[in-house]
Amino acid sequence: MPRTPTPILDGPAVPGVPWIATWSSERTSTALLGGRRGQGLLYVNESPHDRDRFGALWARKSQRIGQGAAEFAGVHPRRQRRAMEELLCQVCGLPADVSDLGVLWMEPITPGDPHSKLSTHPPVCVPCAVEARARCPRIRRTGAHVLRVANPSPNGVLGMFYYPRLDGTLVAEEPADKAYEDGEVRWVLAHQMVMRLGGVTPVDLDDEYASYLATEPSLRPASLRNAASRRRPRQAPPRT
């Protein structure tokens, strides 16, 4: 009888640490990664949740939120992907804020570069955006674009690009971002989803926060951060 694998759970965010950040106890594994010419990367024991709906293969990383030290510069592949696919706040893991103008996004400003229509940063809720503006060293240093996005859509992935040797072994070449329609995406082990931001409207975060506070608490988005509103962790599809 086949063994039922331990389900992968997405735990709640730890206060003060973005939900998509990695922890020192979380480990990435490529032990079962392989590839076939003409087909691309694969896991020898692949299961449905290893690929997104566009067919890209995703890096496997254990889930141990709150265990060890927070790695603020790291991004957890599964949690980042869920935040993009389900439009969850990257900081608290609850639904991002949505208005008539669209989903709330906060993009750190890169000096010298115009704002891009492509982003690896998931959306945010209003309280977390205000907190990030006050606490994030990068945003405090350079500022951030605060946007409402009417039409966010998955564009591709960012990850490690591999190529196969003649003997079938894989060589990790370099990080690359590939659009889903690019045939080479099959050789990228995805670590982050890239979202295309369509229908963008710049907004003022202070105005957004004032509107949030003026809203009846019972009518505020599910992103209101309190223990009672936290979603349950979602179980990953079982391996077959």
195 forms beta bridges with 119, 154
Which of 4-13, 36-45, 200-209, 220-229 tops mean pLDDT? 200-209
Output the average pLDDT for the chain: 87
pLDDT tens sequence across 164-182: 887 778 989 889 999 999 9
What is the distance between the alpha carbons of residues 10 and 63, in angstroms, rounded to a whole number?
Answer: 7
- Per mean pLDDT, which range of 35-39, 82-86, 155-159, 177-181 is the poorest? 35-39
* Closest C-alpha among 210, 217, 159 to residue 189: 159
The predicted structure's pLDDT at residue 18? 95
Identify the sign of the CA torsion 53, 54, 57, 61.
negative
- Residue 225 dihedral angles phi and psi, to the nearest 5°: -85, 100
Tokens of 26: 């979380």
In tens, the pLDDT along 107-135 reads: 998 877 777 899 999 999 999 999 999 99
Name the token pair of 40. Answer: 């691309």
Q: One-letter amino acid identity for 98?
A: V
Mean pLDDT on 212-228: 65
In the chain, the percentage of residues whose pLDDT exceeds 70 is 88
Kindly state the average pLDDT of the residues 29-57. Answer: 92
Q: Tens of pLDDT along 64-108?
A: 999 999 999 999 999 999 999 999 999 999 999 999 999 999 999
pTM: 0.86
SS3 string, 46-71, reads CCHHHECCCCCEECEECCCCCCCCEE
- CB-based contact 19:60 (threshold 8 Å): no
Q: Is the pLDDT of residue 151 over 80?
A: yes
Q: What pLDDT does 222 receive?
A: 53
- Length reported for the chain: 240
Q: How confident is the model at residue 233 (pLDDT cuts 50, 70, 90)?
A: very low
Burial level of 103, CB count in 10 A (0-12/13-18/19+)?
Answer: buried
Asked whether residue 1 carries a pLDDT value surpassing 50, the answer given is no
pLDDT at 229 exceeding the cut of 60: no
98 and 123 Cβ atoms separated by less than 8 Å = no
Q: Is the predicted pLDDT of residue 61 greater than 60, yes or no?
A: yes
Mean pLDDT lowest for which of 50-59, 146-155, 167-176, 188-197?
167-176
